[in-house]
Amino acid sequence: MAENKGIRIVRAEDGAEVRKLFGYGGTARHVAFSTSGQLASVADDGYLRLYSKSFQLVATHPVDGKPVSVAFSPDGTTIAVGYGGQSQISLYQLQNNGSTLQEVVLLTPSKTSTDAVVFSADGIMYSGENAPEGKNRIVAWKNGKRTEKGDCHPALRRKSSDSSGFSGHNL
């Protein structure tokens, strides 16, 4: 899309353009779909946008800072936003059939950047943190609190010597 000021929706089967979503004042950084087909996006203009499954704009909410990632919880009632260069994760609860968003903020430790957020199928949120001195890590969140390494999802309990994934990283 010209100057990346929106989102182009294409059909996976043939690459045909289905819809263009305009009205962005900055580059769209990340999108996520809920299991019910809703679409959430974040952009450099500082807005979280929520679209219906027919791609109609349902809600627009200003966010603090530079949002770089967005994710839906498995039940579709919560949206998480991660920020580049900031130690913050914002959680939004969808209310009034998804037409309004209520924000709750979770802070990460100082001197980190939360560059990625994702939910597992069982509802645990994970954040990718870019910490000083290259000590990047994946953190699990349960009930709004950081969990200790032993409480992480089993897929993240690999040893750094395990060559099947995450090799050389401190999880």
User: Higher pLDDT residue, 148 or 126?
Assistant: 126
Inside any domain, residue 164? no
Q: What is the DSSP string of 14-49?
A: T--EEEEE---SS-EEEEEE-TTS-EEEEETTSEEE
Is residue 143 helix, strand or coil? Answer: coil
Number of folded domains that form the chain = 1
**What average pLDDT does range 126-130 have in this prediction?**
86
Apex 15 CA angle, 77 and 120, nearest 5: 30
Strand partners, 93: 78, 102
Write down the pLDDT at residue 2.
Answer: 44
pTM assigned to the model: 0.80
Write down the pLDDT at residue 3.
Answer: 56
Average pLDDT, the chain: 81
Residue with tokens 């991660």: 82
User: What is the residue range of 42's domain?
Assistant: 2-156
Q: Which long-range contacts (CB under 8 A, 24 or more apart) does 39-47 make?
A: 40/70, 40/72, 40/79, 41/7, 41/70, 42/67, 42/68, 42/69, 42/70, 42/81, 43/67
Contact 49/40 with Cβ under 8 angstroms?
A: yes
Inside any domain, residue 169? no
Write down the pLDDT at residue 64.
Answer: 83
Inside any domain, residue 171? no
Inside any domain, residue 162? no
Inside any domain, residue 25? yes
**What average pLDDT does range 153-171 have in this prediction?**
38
Provide the CATH number for the domain around residue 48: 2.130.10.10
Burial 45-67 (b: 16+ CB within 10 A, else e): bebbbbbbeebeebbebebeebb
